[in-house]
């Protein structure tokens, strides 16, 4: 079908696109442009899942038995606790589900469209049939499009057709029917990626009405994969279940041998197993990860894949692109070479206001032919747009839609009077060879109103000079001699040393009527007209972030396609390149094989003039040496290296959809400092998971031991089942969650990265769990012995004292879990949420002990001030003893240093 027939069919206009009313009506008719996704777990299903746990079912059965035996109050109380526990678990999981759903929407792709004659950037899901879509290098095709215009447009359709090479697209009508997708060269399909060139297309299918939507009909949505962290915790949980059940069976057996009623011991054993088994660990990890990821969002880092949060804490090398990540990505032309003139250009940002001066003397642009031609090439050989969001009186009102480098050239041209009105009056664009990272240049074919055609070209100075045979000097053509070439290259090198990014400009006359097809061989015999030097200053906060990374044992390496001297200047300013740091450019890199590169890479701080293949090799070389690598990038060419890296980082503002799809982490502000913040947050999340594992398991060990020791000593039950379940609900749950959102310690970014295969119980965590759990169990059984004194009439009183001692000891121990060193190493009141959780738990403990209406339910009696004093003294003993031991150990380590 021809282009006009397609436009007529979808009732759209090539130049003005759709009207707002038409868009609204079509959205109501066809729905959002998105594939149907698996329905999330409903709230009711989440609630039911809380009652499907084997231990809960056993507990319900045991409760039923106790009810049949006449223990109605106990049965009702246990059921109430089970229901409360279920609702707490439901609330946590529902919040995690909602958090993850919000996260999945943050990195939604966007699309450039023409509506009502204006170019807009909209969420891709808002596209409707008839929308006019603009495609650029690096975009993901947002819907099924019939192409109306192409300029060297190549699309990677491997995800849809399996074709390994990108397909060159055209606008020609195809008269054959029943064509395979790969043969439909005038179509662009949803989900494929633009690898080169640009184009314009009209939407003919959205959502499930696209080709990829047809495939989605046949597929079942995959379940969300567990993170490696969750898998390890699940394995840990299974091991602990076996151990807890074994110890529980021993406790039950000893209790029966001591003369305790079988049904009571069975109920106590099941209650103890429910309390001791950390069946909620994977769920808590999901919650902590989701909450941590939301904190990352507030710090401008969007996590696309949860496993990357765990990997962030192991990062040992950050390979960072320069432009936009280490620098501000606001290019500005400050100097240019025109003939033999060195001209300075003033201005501020993208506001097209500034002056051209030579030795502080104003320059009349219109009277210098080579300068005028340079500005024309800069404006025409350009894909950016200069936009104004106000009256234009302030630099903040102006922005560039497109590449910042091209935006700077457009701003420079506007300062010299070569604006949109000038171009429309004097020039007409006929064809284009887009910029390519391999070719490092761009060319356009243009005609003017004087029946003249030209090829305008811009690119890397060293490459452009090689293709030039002439130069425009003082308005005349002169042969470009070897001496002039050397002079130009010397100026290029001098400007580069000043951290300027240089581009050269050239042209050649072309025959009229030659069509709009350009080939690379036409970029020969060019006429050199000049060179621009622009600067992208370093971001002011990056130097401090790089310093923090170095303190954290993380190497920062710059990888850039820029000129070596420019890269060295920026790296030196940022502190990335020490005085004798080793640098390597692409040509030197080509001379090394992979093994040689891996041998030398530990000494290299900077890679310049690299290609996409080089970036991939660099990442692999670091990984071959055992490093965990974070790689930043923004373009299609960066995608392979981003995907290969352990942590792929894409730019949120300037990044292409392809780069974002390949990434694990997206920087919303394109700022290196955000990577450092994300790594700190990643380390803190892992630390917090270790904290609540330590707390939960030590508490579980204490609960099992107090029962075990009592049975060994021939004591009656020191805790009744309802008390064990209450501890599981109140004492274990709330403080553990509060630990999961604890603030990072001061030394979080002062210690080396942990090994990615590190065991949970490494760095002494296992011994801390056992020793603290043992201490809690011992002080609790001491409290029971003190209160019981062999008098059965004192049993309820002794059980209440034991119950209170165990709870208070755990609540005090939670503060010890905040630091790997000592409870005294951090301010006790720093984590207000934890303080609140502890106070609430203690208040609830006092309520079940002191409120008469609750005493029959929880088998408690009122305690005196003397009792509470003894309880407090016993409960605080483990934390004080281990805290003082930790301080002493830290002091010895400092003295040893």
Sign of the dihedral through C-alpha 18, 21, 26, 31: positive
Report the alpha-carbon distance of residue 267 to residue 58 in Å, rounded.
9
Q: Would you list the DSSP string of 827-863?
A: -TTS-HHHHHHHHHHHHHHHHHHH-TTTHHHHT----
Structure tokens at 586: 């692409």
Structure tokens at 142: 């947002």
* Residue 150, beta-bridge partner list: 199
Other beta carbons less than 10 A from residue 602's beta carbon: 13
For 858-897, give one letter per residue: b (16+ CB within 10 A) or e: bbbbebeeebeebbeebbbbbbeebbeebeeeeeeeeeee
Element (DSSP H or E) covering residue 337: strand 332-338
Phi-psi bin for 417: left (phi > 0), alpha (psi -120 to 50), beta? left
Report the alpha-carbon distance of residue 551 to residue 564 in Å, rounded.
27
Report the alpha-carbon distance of residue 362 to residue 360 in Å, rounded.
7
Report the alpha-carbon distance of residue 377 to residue 360 in Å, rounded.
25
Q: Would you list the DSSP string of 518-573?
A: --GGGS-SEEEEEEEEEE-PBPTTHHHHHHHHHHTT-EEEEE-SS-HHHHHHHHHH
DSSP state of 140: B
Q: Would you list the DSSP string of 340-367?
A: TEEEEE--BTTBS---EEETTEE--GGG
Element (DSSP H or E) covering residue 88: helix 72-106
DSSP state of 728: I
Burial of 580 (0-12, 13-18, 19+ CB in 10 A): exposed
For 131-166, give one letter per residue: b (16+ CB within 10 A) or e: bbbbbbbbbbbbbbbbbbebbbbbbbbebbbebeeb
* Residue 123, beta-bridge partner list: 110
Residue 499: strand, helix, or coil:
coil
* Residue 351, beta-bridge partner list: 348
Report the alpha-carbon distance of residue 146 to residue 133 in Å, rounded.
10
Report the alpha-carbon distance of residue 758 to residue 768 in Å, rounded.
17
| Residues 280, 237 contacting (CB under 8 angstroms) | no
Mark whether 53 is an active-site residue. no
Give counts: helices (H), strands (E), the chain: 31, 28
Sign of the dihedral through C-alpha 149, 151, 152, 157: negative
| Strand 468-473 to 526-535 pairing | parallel
Give every CB contact of residue 255 below 8 A, 6+ residues apart in sequence.
265, 268, 269, 711, 717
Angle formed at CA 652 by CA 92 and CA 293, multiple of 5 degrees: 20
Among 707, 694, 844, which Cα is nearest to 760's?
A: 694
Angle between helices 564-574 and 482-497 (to 10 degrees): 10
Exactly one of 137, 139, 321, 536 is catalytic; which is it?
321
Report the alpha-carbon distance of residue 720 to residue 272 in Å, rounded.
10
User: Catalytic residues, which ones?
Assistant: 321
């Amino acid at each position: 079908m021809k282009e006009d027939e397609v436009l007529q069919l979808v009732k759209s206009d090539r130049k003005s696109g759709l009207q707002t009313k038409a868009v609204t009506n079509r959205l109501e008719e066809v729905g959002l442009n998105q594939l149907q996704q698996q329905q999330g777990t409903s709230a009711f299903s989440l609630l039911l899942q809380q009652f499907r746990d084997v231990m809960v079912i056993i507990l319900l059965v045991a409760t039923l038995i106790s009810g049949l035996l006449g223990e109605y109050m106990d049965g009702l109380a246990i059921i109430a606790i089970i229901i409360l526990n279920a609702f707490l678990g439901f609330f946590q999981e529902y919040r995690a589900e909602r958090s993850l759903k919000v996260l999945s929407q943050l990195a939604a792709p966007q699309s450039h469209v023409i509506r009502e004659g204006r170019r807009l950037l909209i969420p891709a899901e808002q596209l409707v049939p008839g929308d006019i879509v603009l495609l650029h290098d690096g975009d993901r095709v947002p819907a099924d499009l019939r192409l109306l215009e192409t300029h060297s447009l190549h699309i990677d359709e491997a995800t849809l057709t399996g074709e390994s090479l990108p397909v060159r697209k055209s606008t020609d009508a195809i008269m054959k029917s029943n064509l395979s997708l790969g043969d439909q060269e005038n179509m662009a399909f949803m989900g494929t990626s633009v690898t080169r060139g640009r184009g314009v297309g009209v939407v003919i299918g959205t959502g499930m009405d696209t080709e990829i939507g047809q495939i989605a009909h046949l597929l079942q949505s995959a379940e969300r994969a567990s993170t490696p962290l969750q898998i390890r915790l699940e394995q840990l949980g299974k091991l602990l279940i076996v151990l807890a059940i074994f110890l529980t069976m021993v406790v039950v057996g000893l209790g029966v041998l001591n003369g305790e009623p079988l049904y009571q011991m069975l109920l106590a054993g099941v209650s103890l197993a429910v309390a001791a088994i950390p069946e909620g660990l994977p769920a808590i990890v999901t919650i902590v990860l989701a909450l941590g990821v939301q904190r990352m969002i507030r710090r401008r880092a969007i996590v696309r894949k949860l496993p990357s949060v765990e990997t962030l804490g192991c990062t040992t090398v950050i390979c960072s692109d320069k432009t936009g990540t280490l620098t501000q990505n606001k290019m500005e032309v400050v100097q240019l070479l025109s003939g033999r003139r060195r001209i300075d250009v003033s201005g501020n940002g993208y506001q097209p206001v500034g002056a051209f001066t030579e030795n502080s003397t104003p320059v009349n642009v219109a009277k210098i032919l080579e300068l005028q031609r340079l500005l024309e090439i800069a404006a025409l050989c350009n894909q950016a747009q200069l936009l104004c969001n106000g009256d234009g009186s302030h630099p903040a009102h102006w922005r560039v839609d497109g590449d910042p480098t091209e935006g700077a050239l457009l701003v420079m041209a506007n300062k010299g009077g070569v604006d949109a009105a000038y171009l429309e009056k004097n020039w007409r664009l006929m064809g284009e060879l887009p910029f390519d990272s391999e070719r490092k240049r761009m060319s356009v074919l243009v005609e003017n109103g004087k029946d003249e055609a030209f090829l305008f070209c811009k690119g890397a100075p060293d490459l452009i000079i090689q293709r030039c045979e002439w130069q425009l000097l003082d308005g005349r053509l002169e042969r470009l001699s070897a001496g002039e070439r050397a002079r130009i290259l010397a100026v290029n090198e001098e400007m580069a040393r000043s951290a300027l990014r240089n581009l050269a400009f050239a042209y050649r006359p072309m025959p009229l009527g030659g069509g709009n097809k350009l080939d690379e061989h036409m970029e020969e015999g060019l006429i050199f007209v000049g060179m621009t030097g622009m600067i992208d200053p370093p971001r002011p906060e990056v130097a401090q972030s790089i310093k923090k990374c170095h303190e954290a044992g993380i190497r920062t390496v710059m990888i850039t396609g820029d000129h070596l001297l420019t890269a060295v200047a920026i790296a030196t300013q940022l502190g990335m390149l020490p005085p004798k740091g080793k640098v390597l450019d692409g040509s030197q890199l080509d001379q090394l094989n992979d093994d040689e590169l891996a041998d030398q890479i530990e000494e290299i701080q900077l890679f310049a003039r690299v290609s996409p293949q080089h970036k991939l090799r660099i990442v692999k070389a670091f990984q071959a040496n055992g490093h965990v690598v974070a790689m930043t990038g923004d373009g299609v060419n960066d995608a392979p290296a981003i995907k290969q890296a352990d942590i792929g980082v894409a730019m949120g503002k300037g990044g292409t959809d392809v780069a974002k799809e390949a990434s694990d982490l997206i920087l919303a502000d394109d700022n290196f400092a955000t990577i450092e913040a994300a790594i700190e947050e990643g380390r803190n999340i892992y630390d917090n998971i270790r904290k609540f594992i330590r707390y939960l398991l030590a508490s579980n060990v204490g609960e099992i031991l107090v029962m075990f020791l009592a049975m060994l000593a021939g004591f009656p039950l020191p805790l009744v089942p309802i008390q064990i379940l209450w501890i599981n609900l109140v004492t274990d749950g709330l403080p553990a969650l509060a630990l999961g959102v604890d603030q990072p310690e001061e030394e979080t970014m002062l210690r080396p990265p942990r090994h990615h295969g590190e065991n949970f119980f490494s760095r002494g965590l296992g011994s801390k769990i056992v020793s603290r759990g043992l201490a809690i169990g011992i002080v609790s059984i001491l409290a029971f012995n003190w209160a019981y004194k062999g008098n059965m009439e004192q049993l309820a009183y002794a059980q209440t004292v034991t119950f209170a001692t165990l709870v208070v000891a755990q609540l005090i121990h939670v503060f010890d879990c905040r630091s790997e060193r000592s409870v005294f190493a951090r301010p006790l009141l720093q984590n207000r949420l934890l303080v609140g959780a502890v106070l609430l738990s203690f208040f609830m403990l006092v309520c079940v002990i002191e409120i008469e209406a609750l005493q029959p339910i929880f088998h408690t009696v009122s305690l005196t001030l003397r009792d509470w004093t003894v309880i407090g003294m016993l409960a605080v003993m483990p934390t004080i003893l281990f805290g003082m031991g930790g301080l002493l150990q830290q002091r010895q380590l400092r003295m040893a240093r």
